[in-house]
Amino acid sequence: SQKIEQNSEALNIQEGKTATLTCNYTNYSPAYLQWYRQDPGRGPVFLLLIRENEKEKRKERLKVTFDTTLKQSLFHITASQPADSATYLCALTKVDSSYKLIFGSGTRLLVRP
């Protein structure tokens, strides 16, 4: 069955450092991989999308890589700030009738001042 794995342990880093979150998947061939941010009690907020034929995508302090051979995506936040503290969700999509998102369980990031 399809499986999307994100590190279930919280990532605790010092302000200013780079946070790196991992998303691994099996038994799936996504067309897109997306990263969302979720704050407690709130809906997911879209951050970045990377396509299967792309290796890397950047947006301001965010960078995503996508390795379809390893079936892995890395999500980096450079110069992290306490305001970056949240849960980060990886989501996969296929090109089909619905384009539904299949989410991982998320990794909680805590940035200490």
Binders of another protein among residues 21 to 80 (CB under 8 A) are 32, 34, 36, 38, 41-46, 49
Among candidate residues 82, 70, 78, the one with its CA nearest the CA of residue 113: 82
In the complex with another protein, the residue whose CB is nearer, 17 or 42, is: 42
Q: How far is the CB of 88 from another protein (least distance, A)?
A: 12
Among candidate residues 85, 108, 101, the one with its CA nearest the CA of residue 25: 101
Three-state DSSP class for residue 38: strand
- List interacting residues with another protein (CB under 8 A): 32, 34, 36, 38, 41-46, 49, 89, 93, 96-106
